[in-house]
Amino acid sequence: MSDSATEPAAEITAANLEAELARRGLGGPDYGLLTHRDHIREDTEGLAFSQAHPGNPGFDWESVYAHCDGVTDAPIDEQAERNRLAMQMTGKMLKRLLDWLLAVNMQDHRALKSIGVRAVVMAWVIDPGRFDNASLTTIAKSLGYGSGHAMNPEASDFARQFGITNHFQAHDPRRKHEIATNN
């Protein structure tokens, strides 16, 4: 006679997931139905919270419980929500830009120069008008590069990774379709 608690579990698949959860005592009709508010209330009830500063009101736990359950009296400010989402997306994009910008060997003594070159390239690809519409070759020469084409690989990499091109990159046959659709 074998006890189901000591039997090794069979491989869990989508078909047997519910049965396996029930076998482990993690299933059933009421399992997991406690709301966030109930969990927070259980964790905070009976704790003695002192006021942060004499004269300040106590903490509004009921509002916390209501917000955890998605129950609020305040109407949703759609513009504020759009702004919040826009800032969230902006933050993600900024992170991607910084990841690209800082993707250099930081142990190399030329790391700072590489980051500077990548910053100039990024600014030029996004808006050549920042440099009075000078070509990247002209900019590279003005920065002291012997070859005017020294910054081209970085510009190509940035354009490829972010799908951003400018009219100076139109000569690249691989980019003609992209430039026509992006500008």
Together in a domain, 92 and 26: no
Q: Which of 5, 40, 74 is the last residue of a domain?
A: 74
Q: Across all residues in the chain, what is the average pLDDT? A: 76
Query: Mean pLDDT throughout 65-70?
Result: 67
Confidence class of residue 59 from pLDDT cuts 50, 70 and 90?
low
- Could you read off the pLDDT of 123-153 as tens digits, one per residue? 999 999 999 999 999 999 999 988 878 899 9
Residue with the bigger pLDDT between 18 and 115: it is: 115
Residue span of the structural domain in which 176 resides: 78-182
Residue 84 domain flag = yes
Measure the CA angle with vertex 71, ends 69 and 73; round to 5°.
155
The pLDDT score that the predictor gives to residue 129 is: 94
4 found inside a domain? no
Q: Environment class of residue 158 by beta-carbon count within 10 Å: exposed (0-12), middle (13-18) or buried (19+)?
A: buried
**Do residues 85 and 36 share a domain?**
no
Residues 38 and 95 in one domain: no
The angle subtended at Cα 143 by Cα 142 and Cα 144, nearest 5°, is 90
Span 110-132, average pLDDT? 95
Final residue in a domain of this structure, among 74, 98, 115: 74
Q: Tell me the two tokens of residue 158.
A: 């940035």
Query: Residue 16: its pLDDT value, please?
Result: 72
Q: In this structure, is residue 166 part of a structural domain?
A: yes
Residue 6 lies in a domain: no
Claim to verify: residue 53 and residue 100 sit in the same structural domain: no
On whether both 87 and 163 belong to a single domain, the answer is yes
Last residue of a domain, one of 58, 74, 90: 74
Mean pLDDT across 96-115: 94
Task: Please answer whether residues 78 and 64 qualify as being in contact, where contact means their C-beta atoms are separated by less than 8 angstroms.
Answer: no
Q: What is the pTM of this model?
A: 0.53
- 53 with 142, same domain: the answer is no
